[in-house]
């Protein structure tokens, strides 16, 4: 039982602390630079939308104001069967030079929408964007400068949260800062395996149609580039802005979908993973896959320490671990209650955010195993 305790505790510590330290050491020992240059290839900026009437007009306006030559920028907006006024708003831009509109009367999912847009795109670089991601004026320049390096096939931008009154803003912002650090170090090693669909650039020559049942389309595109021997890099200077989730429940919806998508990647590892890139496999398992099993590792720590507490002469360190876990659970519950009654979470939000992330992983496993997670996801509400 003691062995189980140390094994599970070691795995938890590795995921949260050990891997970030290890990848930092790797980056310092074998730093791979990117041969960037201020190039301006033709770009197709693809925006897929479903029921985005409150933001789609602002998003298209943002795209039109980007500081990139108009003759080199093509904006493709896909309406994926919206049931609100999204289609009407998009059509207002139908005669706008450089804007192409694709309307679908039925909802088929983001992967299908992205495939339709990519099939019509004329740009050398495809940039996929969420409808709610507002780009900094220089973002495209910051993205494509990395494509000057012939080894780079995919570039992920910097998803930045705008400060707002969401009760989980601080927790979510801390998480994204943590992720950005790891992605930076992974990129310095060679490639990052963590990408966000808010701002994702891919060489058009590398694009292959996304399977229509693929839950994580952005991860699929990154894997595609890695399998073909190209680097996937993170560009912190390519900024896009989004608001944080309105509540922890909304964040759980997003994270359980991601968890289900990662279990799908595991189930299809043979054909999807970049097996020739051993470093990328190590990063994928350490950074993303092991996180899926944190609920089980954590449960292993709790159960084994609880059983050991029944034994006489329980080691002090075991008692400390047992009571620390109870304190962690209590803080998470207090955080949950605080959010329900409208109190500011403060430091309690961090413990609640971590606990909710583990719950989302477990929920994602259940949803995927039962076939309940489809590409037609339920959108998380975000603060405006």
Q: What is the mean pLDDT of the chain?
A: 91
Domains, the chain, ordered by start: 1-383 (3.90.550.10)
Question: 210 burial class (0-12, 13-18, 19+ CB within 10 angstroms)?
Answer: buried
The residues facing 300 across adjacent strands are: none
Please give the pLDDT value at position 274. Answer: 97
Cβ density class 337-372: b for 16+ within 10 Å, e for less: ebbeeeeebeebbbbbbbbbbbbbbbbbbebbeeee
Helix, strand, coil abundance in the chain, percent, nearest 5 = 55, 15, 30
At 328-366, the pLDDT tens digits run 888 888 777 776 676 665 666 677 788 888 888 998 899
For the chain, give the longest Cα–Cα distance: 79
pLDDT reading at 384 higher than 60: no
115 pLDDT tier (thresholds 50, 70, 90) = very high
- Over residues 249-269, the mean pLDDT reads 89
Contact 293, 263 (CB under 8 A): no
- Over residues 293-304, the mean pLDDT reads 95
Distances (CA, A) of 14 to 11, 20, 30: 5, 8, 21
Beta pairing, strands 152-162 & 199-203: antiparallel
Please give the pLDDT value at position 378. Answer: 59
Please give the pLDDT value at position 347. Answer: 62
- Over residues 258-269, the mean pLDDT reads 94
Spatial distance between the Cα atoms of 111 and 48, rounded to a whole number of angstroms:
9
Of 340 and 173, the one with more pLDDT? 173
- Over residues 96-111, the mean pLDDT reads 93
* 199-203 sheet: strands from edge to edge: 99-104, 73-80, 43-49, 125-130, 199-203, 152-162, 231-243, 134-135
| Residue labelled with tokens 């803080």 | 331
Spatial distance between the Cα atoms of 201 and 16, rounded to a whole number of angstroms:
28
49 pLDDT tier (thresholds 50, 70, 90) = very high
pLDDT reading at 379 higher than 70: no
Q: What percentage of residues in the chain have a pLDDT greater than 90?
A: 73
Please give the pLDDT value at position 163. Answer: 76
Spatial distance between the Cα atoms of 58 and 75, rounded to a whole number of angstroms:
14
Q: What is the pTM of this model?
A: 0.92
Q: What percentage of residues in the chain have a pLDDT greater than 70?
A: 92
56 pLDDT tier (thresholds 50, 70, 90) = very high
What is the DSSP code (8-state) at residue 382?
B
Q: Which residues contact 334 (CB under 8 A, 6 or more apart)?
A: 348
User: For 248, phi and psi rounded to 5 degrees?
Assistant: -65, -35
**Residue length of the chain:** 384
380 pLDDT tier (thresholds 50, 70, 90) = low
69 pLDDT tier (thresholds 50, 70, 90) = very high
């Amino acid at each position: 039982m003691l062995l189980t305790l140390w094994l599970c505790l070691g795995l938890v510590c590795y995921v949260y602390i050990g891997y970030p330290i290890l990848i930092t050491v790797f980056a310092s020992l074998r730093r791979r630079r990117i041969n960037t240059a201020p190039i301006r290839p033709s770009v197709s900026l693809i925006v897929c939308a479903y029921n985005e009437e409150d933001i789609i007009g602002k998003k298209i306006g943002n795209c039109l104001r980007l500081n990139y030559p108009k003759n080199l920028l093509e904006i493709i907006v896909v309406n994926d069967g919206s049931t609100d006024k999204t289609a009407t708003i998009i059509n207002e831009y139908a005669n706008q030079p450089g804007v192409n509109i694709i309307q679908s009367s039925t909802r088929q999912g983001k992967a299908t929408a992205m495939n339709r847009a990519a099939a019509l795109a004329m740009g050398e670089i495809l940039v996929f964007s969420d409808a709610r991601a507002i780009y900094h004026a220089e973002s495209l320049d910051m993205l494509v400068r990395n494509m000057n390096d012939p080894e780079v096939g995919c570039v992920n931008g910097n998803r930045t949260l705008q400060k707002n009154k969401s009760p989980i803003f601080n927790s979510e912002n801390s998480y994204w800062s943590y992720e950005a650090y790891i992605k930076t170090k992974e990129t310095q090693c060679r490639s990052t395996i963590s990408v966000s669909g808010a701002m994702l650039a891919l060489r058009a020559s590398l694009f292959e149609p996304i399977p229509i049942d693929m839950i994580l389309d952005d991860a699929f595109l990154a894997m595609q580039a890695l399998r073909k021997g190209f680097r996937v890099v993170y560009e912190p200077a390519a900024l896009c802005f989004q608001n944080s989730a309105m509540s922890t429940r909304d964040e759980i919806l997003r994270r359980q979908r991601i968890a289900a998508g990662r279990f799908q990647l595991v189930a299809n590892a043979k054909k999807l993973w970049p097996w020739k890139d051993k470093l990328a496999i190590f990063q994928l398992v350490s950074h993303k896959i092991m996180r899926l099993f944190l609920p089980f590792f954590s449960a292993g720590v709790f159960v084994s320490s609880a059983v050991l507490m029944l034994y006489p002469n329980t080691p002090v360190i075991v008692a400390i671990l047992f009571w620390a876990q109870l304190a962690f659970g209590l803080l998470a519950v207090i955080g949950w209650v605080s959010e329900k009654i409208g109190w500011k979470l403060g430091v309690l939000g961090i413990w609640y955010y971590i606990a909710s992330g583990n719950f989302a992983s477990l929920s994602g496993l259940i949803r995927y195993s039962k076939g309940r997670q489809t590409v037609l996801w339920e959108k998380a509400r975000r603060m405006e």
